[in-house]
């Protein structure tokens, strides 16, 4: 069995996460038991939710245990199998974590899923045709429930969730506006992802300024919003929501370092009779097949061309993750392991 590099959570952050919170170790891969498979990971997914798990605090996800391998989505191939359902060479997606190899009890429901790479790149199963894509699909389809001609807005517009949201929203006949950081990301959002407009939040110092930009980009107001950021962005959007608008809350990345994120004018929720709903996509596994079918078709037909930021080697994962939290990635953040 091969030796395995792993990155552990060595200690919990105090405020902002830093590289010294992580530790690289090398261990022997255990021999397989009946029903298990050995997966060599090709790509590791880095996602903002991981920051919340680093804290030992009440949250929507169980805290990451100190001294254990950081959790995370992976894609790779089966290199050894003691399970009749999986053969050597099968391409698979699972939650292998921050390591080069994982031993998986493949009979456990949802532990490992075969994927077809004939028309869809393997890495896409960690982005557009994976958890981020399904997250965008669920927030849009099940919470926002868009109607043709309405205006949709999404923050973190060029990330894995935002790019999928754009394709799904445009397919439903909606005007779709993004909020992203920097002119390059905004240009990419419009030119390649199909957004009707994209606002650079870095040009705005406060919610009032961002709200004015939203008014220009959304002359008919906002009917549906997908929130990934919180803080100033959510304040600005709330001021432009139409009556009976719907907001799907997926993330609050602006507060992942522990700073509170108060809403400045919560009365707007009542005044505009808004629906504001948070959700965790893994609590809605029943919709995944439907969502993945649509997302896979969009990618296979070239209607969704998500961009990827790829760090090379497991050792690069901590710095790539810290960069993700500061918005340094351009598209889905991955680590190439093989």
Q: Could you tell me if 29 and 101 are in contact, meaning their C-beta atoms sit under 8 angstroms apart? A: yes
Among residues 298, 246, 270, 233, which one has the least CA distance to residue 142? Answer: 246
Contacts of 191 (CB under 8 A, 6+ apart): none
CB 180 within 8 A of CB 157: yes
CATH number for region 3-127+306-336: 3.90.180.10
pLDDT band at 152 (very low <50, low <70, confident <90, very high): very high
Name the residue among 336, 332, 322 with its Cα closest to residue 100.
336
Query: Domain 131-282's class?
Result: alpha beta
pLDDT of residue 88: 98
| Biggest distance spanned by C-alpha atoms of the chain | 62
CB 337 within 8 A of CB 122: no
Do 86 and 92 touch, CB atoms closer than 8 A? yes
Q: Which residue has the higher pLDDT, 58 or 244?
A: 244
Task: Name the phi and psi angles at 136, rounded to 5.
Answer: -60, -45
Range in 16-25, 58-67, 180-189 the model is least confident about: 58-67
Pair of tokens at residue 292: 């993945």
Tokens of 18: 């830093």
Taking the C-alpha atoms of residue 338 and residue 330, their distance in angstroms, rounded to an integer, is 21
pLDDT band at 253 (very low <50, low <70, confident <90, very high): confident
Q: What is the pLDDT of residues 266-310, one digit of tens each?
A: 999 999 999 999 999 999 999 999 999 999 999 999 999 889 999
Phi, psi (deg, nearest 5) at residue 13: -65, 150
Tell me whether domains 3-127+306-336 and 131-282 share a fold. Answer: no
Domain ranges of the chain: 3-127+306-336, 131-282
Q: Judge residue 68's burial from the number of C-beta atoms within 10 Å of its C-beta, 0-12 exposed, 13-18 middle, 19 or more buried.
A: exposed
pLDDT in tens, 230-240: 999 999 999 99
Rounded Cα distance, 284 and 141, in Å: 13
Distance CA 68, CA 74 (A): 17
Of the chain, the percentage scoring pLDDT greater than 70 comes to 99
Residues in the chain: 338
Q: What pLDDT, on the 0 to 100 scale, is given for residue 146? A: 98
Name residues whose C-beta falls within 8 Å of residue 227's C-beta, 6 or more positions apart in sequence.
Answer: 155, 233, 234, 237, 247, 248, 249, 250, 251, 252
Q: Give first-to-last CA distance, the chain, whole Å.
A: 17
* pTM summary value: 0.90
């Amino acid at each position: 069995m091969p030796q395995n590099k792993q990155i552990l959570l060595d200690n919990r952050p105090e405020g902002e996460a830093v590289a010294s919170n992580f530790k690289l170790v090398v261990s022997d891969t255990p021999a397989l038991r009946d029903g298990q498979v050995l997966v060599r990971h090709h790509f590791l997914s880095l996602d903002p939710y991981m920051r919340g798990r680093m804290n030992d605090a009440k949250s929507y996800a169980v805290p990451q245990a100190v001294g254990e391998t950081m959790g995370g989505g992976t894609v790779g191939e089966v290199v050894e199998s003691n399970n009749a359902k999986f053969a050597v060479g099968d391409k698979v997606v699972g939650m292998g974590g921050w390591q080069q190899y994982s031993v998986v009890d493949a009979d456990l429901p949802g532990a490992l899923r075969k994927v077809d790479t004939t028309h869809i790149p393997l890495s896409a199963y960690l982005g557009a045709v994976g958890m981020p894509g399904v997250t965008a699909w669920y927030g849009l389809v099940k919470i926002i429930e868009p109607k043709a001609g309405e205006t949709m807005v999404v923050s973190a517009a060029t990330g894995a969730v935002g790019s999928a949201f754009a394709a799904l929203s445009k397919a439903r006949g909606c005007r779709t506006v993004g909020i992203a950081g920097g002119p390059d990301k905004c240009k990419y959002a419009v030119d390649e992802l199909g957004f009707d407009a994209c606002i650079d939040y870095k040009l705005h110092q406060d919610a009032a300024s961002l709200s004015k930009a939203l008014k220009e980009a959304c002359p008919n107001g906002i009917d549906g919003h997908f929130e990934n950021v919180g803080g100033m962005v959510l304040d600005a959007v709330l001021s432009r929501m139409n009556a009976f608008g719907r907001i799907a809350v997926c993330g609050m990345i602006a507060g992942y370092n522990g700073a509170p994120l108060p809403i400045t004018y919560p009365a707007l929720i009542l005044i505009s009779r808004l629906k504001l709903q948070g959700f965790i996509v893994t609590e809605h596994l029943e919709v995944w097949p439907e969502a993945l079918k649509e997302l896979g078709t969009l990618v296979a037909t070239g209607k969704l061309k998500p961009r990827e930021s790829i760090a090379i080697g497991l050792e690069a994962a901590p710095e790539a993750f810290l960069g993700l939290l500061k918005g340094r990635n351009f598209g889905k953040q991955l680590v190439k392991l093989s």
